[in-house]
């Protein structure tokens, strides 16, 4: 029952998108072994279509593009020229799906509920970062970041990555944050990919909203 539903969905989406297939003719140029077959946004199962058919996922967490890649085994890295063709095909399919009227849930603006969730989740992260930034808990001597950098002043997150003479190398903001935890605060470094570091970074970045990025600037 479930699998027939899935294959029906797949057939329907492949049929709906056959026009899209033709539009992709420019990309599926005959000398290459990369061929666009369709898009699946409703199921994670790959239909047994053409030889070498593979499912490629986009960054949006939803769109899956079916592309046949001949001559490269799944799990094997594709040569750069073929990988570029696959990536370009994925992008064209994504752009067309976004504006397509074929699938009702594509190209629609976010609902007020979604917007609220996006905003409240990011605000929650920033608020936690604000607390850490204003707390002596990151160190051992009672000093906190805000005592020298009120409201994130002079932290210049927009200038990272950049070369820091103290660290003798090009670093990301998080490495500079750790340097400041270890030095003026006399604390223990945070895990660079840990929750607290992400929250601190989020707060510091939020204080520079609208500032153009200028990596490397001193």
Minimum CB separation of residue 209 from ligand HEC in Å reads 16
**Token code pair at residue 183:** 């030095």
Contact present, 144 and 185 (Cβ < 8 Å): yes
Q: How far is CA 26 from CA 30, 132, 154, in A?
A: 9, 53, 50
Closest CA to 41 of 113, 115, 96, 118: 96
In the bound state with ligand HEC, the residue whose beta carbon lies nearer, of 9 and 143, is 143
Contact present, 142 and 153 (Cβ < 8 Å): no
Mark 104-119 as b/e (b = at least 16 C-beta within 10 Å).
eebeeeeeeeeeeeee
Minimum CB separation of residue 191 from ligand HEC in Å reads 14
Minimum CB separation of residue 192 from ligand HEC in Å reads 13
In the bound state with ligand HEC, the residue whose beta carbon lies nearer, of 21 and 158, is 158
In the bound state with ligand HEC, the residue whose beta carbon lies nearer, of 40 and 180, is 180
Minimum CB separation of residue 196 from ligand HEC in Å reads 11
Minimum CB separation of residue 122 from ligand HEC in Å reads 19
In the bound state with ligand HEC, the residue whose beta carbon lies nearer, of 62 and 149, is 149
Residues that bind ligand HEC (CB under 6 A): 138, 143, 145, 147-149, 154-156, 159, 173, 176-177, 180-181, 184-185
In the bound state with ligand HEC, the residue whose beta carbon lies nearer, of 91 and 167, is 167
Residues written for the chain: 218
């Amino acid at each position: 029952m479930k699998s027939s539903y899935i294959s029906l969905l797949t057939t329907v989406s492949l049929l709906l998108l056959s026009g899209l297939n033709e539009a992709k003719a420019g990309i599926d140029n005959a000398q290459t072994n990369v061929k666009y077959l369709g898009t699946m946004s409703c199921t994670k199962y790959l239909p047994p279509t053409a030889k070498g058919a593979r499912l490629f996922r986009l960054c949006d967490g939803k769109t899956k593009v079916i592309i046949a890649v001949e001559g490269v085994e799944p799990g094997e890295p594709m040569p750069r020229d073929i990988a570029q063709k696959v990536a370009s095909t994925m992008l064209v399919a994504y752009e067309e799906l976004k504006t397509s009227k074929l699938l009702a849930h594509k190209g629609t603006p976010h609902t007020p509920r979604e917007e609220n969730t996006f905003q409240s989740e990011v605000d929650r992260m920033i608020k936690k970062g604000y607390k850490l930034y204003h707390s002596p808990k990151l160190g051992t001597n009672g000093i906190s970041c805000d005592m020298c950098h009120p409201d994130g002043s002079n932290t210049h997150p927009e200038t990272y990555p950049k070369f820091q003479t103290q660290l003798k190398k090009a670093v990301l903001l998080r490495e500079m944050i750790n340097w400041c935890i270890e030095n003026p605060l006399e604390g223990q470094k945070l895990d660079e990919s840990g929750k607290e570091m992400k929250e601190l970074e989020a707060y510091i970045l939020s204080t520079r909203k609208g500032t153009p990025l200028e990596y490397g600037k001193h």
